[in-house]
Amino acid sequence: MLDGKVALITGASQGLGRALALAYAKEGARVVINARGEEGIRRVAEEIEASGAEALALAADVSKGDEVDGLVEAATRRFGRIDVLVNNAGVLGPRVEILEYPEEEWRRVIDANLTGPFLVSKTVAPHMPEGGSIVNVVSGVSIEGRAEWGAYSVSKFGVEGLTQILASELEERGIRVNAVDPGGMRTDMRAAAYPDEDPMTRVTPEENTEVFLYLASDESRSVTGQRFKAQEFR
């Protein structure tokens, strides 16, 4: 399905990002995996390479332009191009009301969740050939504001808008841009957001990759500016 494609996935040391890296590699992609820390992505790279696929692990903070430049430069130096970008990296931030929200935490969450996808998309797009695909990970709280979701919700609302703008601006170049709401999954972030929830009632990230595979493949070549719910995709 993805033979020969080069995919860059941010936030790939655990959870959905790790699951997508493994799923893409299984389908024949060469995978560039990114997170802020080296140890987690190194382990994922070892998993991918053990399966016979090719992986490049690059640590970088995607909210910082100079680090994004270094990330993309290293990826393209190795593989020559990037066919697929998944903007998955993100942080939850505190679950408190806006009036109690610390300014430093607000800036940290907005930078990670919104500035990051902006910087990575802006830097990767010039290295994408026609038929390239950008996939932005959104949320149930990116189209409906809810109490005590603060900067996380606001940042994901921003990613929804970024998706639509990029889809319009890149369409002439043959690059598609779509958003995916993965829904509730059995992840550490979900557990932090809903500490009283039984995680076994949720799907695993590995069970939730189908729409991401579709959007990375040539099957979705004409699909852009759309929003998908991963757990409703068939």
**pLDDT digits over 115-139, tens only?**
999 999 999 999 999 999 999 999 9
For residue 188, tell me if it sits in a domain: yes
Q: What's the rounded Cα separation, in Å, for the pair 163 and 225?
A: 7
The answer to whether the CB of 170 falls within 8 A of the CB of 124 is no
Q: Give residue 188's pLDDT band: very low, low, confident or very high (50, 70, 90).
A: confident
Residue 196 has pLDDT above 80, yes or no: no
The more confident residue out of 193 and 214 is 214
For residue 109, tell me if it sits in a domain: yes
R_g of the chain computed on alpha carbons: 17
Q: Which domain holds residue 90?
A: 6-232
Sheet holding 30-35, edge to edge: 55-59, 30-35, 6-9, 84-87, 133-137, 176-181, 227-229
Residue 150 has pLDDT above 80, yes or no: yes
Residue 191 has pLDDT above 90, yes or no: no
pLDDT at 173: 97
For residue 1, tell me if it sits in a domain: no
Question: Could you confirm whether 101 is annotated as catalytic?
Answer: no
For residue 221, tell me if it sits in a domain: yes
Residue 37 tokens, joined: 């820390």
For residue 79, tell me if it sits in a domain: yes
**Residue at 87: amino acid letter:** N
For residue 122, tell me if it sits in a domain: yes
- Global pTM reads 0.96
pLDDT at 190: 77
Domains contained in the chain, number: 1
For residue 91, tell me if it sits in a domain: yes
**Residue at 131: amino acid letter:** G
Span 70-119, pLDDT tens digits: 999 999 999 999 999 999 999 999 999 999 999 999 999 999 999 999 99
**Residue at 13: amino acid letter:** S
Q: What is the CATH number of the domain that holds 186?
A: 3.40.50.720
Output the CA–CA distances (angstroms, integers) from residue 63 to 22, 130, 142, 188, in the order listed.
24, 26, 19, 21
Residue of 101, 152, 194, 214 marked active site: 152
**21-30, 60-69, 184-193 — which is least confidently predicted?**
184-193
Closest by CA position to 32, among listed 89, 90, 91, 72: 72
